[in-house]
Structure 1
């Protein structure tokens, strides 16, 4: 149909309803807030880099290192204490009456700093005794043991290094020792005695009595 102006056929004025889609289909447009709720956005977690891995390793590793060090120190300290105890072995106090009788080690009255130790095996038994006494009590002890001060020899230490080491004795400590050995026949004990007069009012006595089977 021609227009009044005669300019040609009339052009369609567009869709018959406003707001409609060009393709003729109604529906929500993307991002217009209609329809299902948009899915929550979760950022992608990237694997930690070398810095993160280093920090994690330090947080885990450092406490473990300290724990290991503490354990080793505690173990070494306990071992040192055990070694020191084993190196001494001596027990504070007098040997029993039975021990003194069997090993023929008479103890002087009022002896001080008395310590002793005993070992037993299928080959032999040994008693170690140390004590301090007085100049008057020493001759009595030696006589009861079967010897005398006259038998003591200056610089002679009858107690062997192995015997001394067993109980932590140091008989090369700078003191002058006087010694004697009592050899008894048969099954009687052999007794080694060492005396130091460095503290004249309190002579130090070391005794090792051994019974061989």
Structure 2
């Protein structure tokens, strides 16, 4: 090889045909990947206009479907449901997440004596809930359902005898009762709240949340 040929090869730019610069090195031409490593493919960056409508549909359909199925299960009659509730008693523990969402209420953290019961009919669906908590957490819970302690009226029992009989609640004399009703436009739930304030530091709350589809 002549001195001139050796000089020409030495001065060739790397990355074309020179050593270590083969354009097809590694089996895939540079640029065939559609960009530098780490780039998001254009298809993945495109907006998916169907996602938001699907999410909205599910948010509306799941609660509605739940209430419909519950109503179908109650088709044999509310009398039978009431008899079953009295015989079985309230179910211990928190309502399910779906129930808490539909009926617009939760349970204060670390509440005790928690129990609930749900009843459904073609016209309305109701969730019965009871719990014992403390002053501060009662105030927070009342705020969550759209009311406050000042709305609780002395001596007022907002749950009538027929409703109380569904789950065996008794609101007799000789106790310090306070109560309030929180009414809202459909389809939001209405709340009947009655609290036993015999021990102001440990109020015992009884509430019925009712929704009308």
TM tier, smaller: 0.5 to 0.7
Is the contact between residue 85 and residue 167 of structure 2 (CA under 8 Å) also seen in structure 1? no
Q: Can you give the 5+ residue segments of structure 1 that lack an aligned partner in the other structure?
A: 1-82
Mark the structure with the bigger radius of gyration.
Answer: 1
Q: How far apart, CA to CA, are the structure 1 residues paired with 2:115 and 2:192?
A: 16
How many residues align structurally?
A: 131
1:115 aligned partner: 115
Q: 1:15-94 to 2 correspondence within 5 Å?
A: 86-87=86-87, 89-94=89-94
Displacement of 1:146 in angstroms is: 0.5
User: Which digits, 9 at most, give the CA deviation of each residue in 1:129-163, with x for residues without a partner?
Assistant: 00000111110000011000010100111111111
With normalisation by structure 1, the TM-score equals 0.58
Describe the shift of the 1:120–1:156 C-alpha distance in structure 2 as closer, same or farther (beyond 3 A).
same
Query: Which 4+ stretches in 1 moved above 3 angstroms?
Result: none
Is the contact between residue 193 and residue 205 of structure 1 (CA under 8 Å) also seen in structure 2? yes
Displacement of 1:106 in angstroms is: 2.3
Q: 1:51-200 to 2 correspondence within 5 Å?
A: 86-87=86-87, 89-200=89-200
Q: Can you give the 5+ residue segments of structure 2 that lack an aligned partner in the other structure?
A: 1-82
Q: How far apart, CA to CA, are the structure 2 residues paired with 1:180 and 1:88?
A: 28
With normalisation by structure 2, the TM-score equals 0.58
Displacement of 1:208 in angstroms is: 0.3
Q: CA RMSD in A?
A: 1.7
Is the contact between residue 90 and residue 117 of structure 1 (CA under 8 Å) also seen in structure 2? yes
Displacement of 1:171 in angstroms is: 0.8
Displacement of 1:180 in angstroms is: 0.5
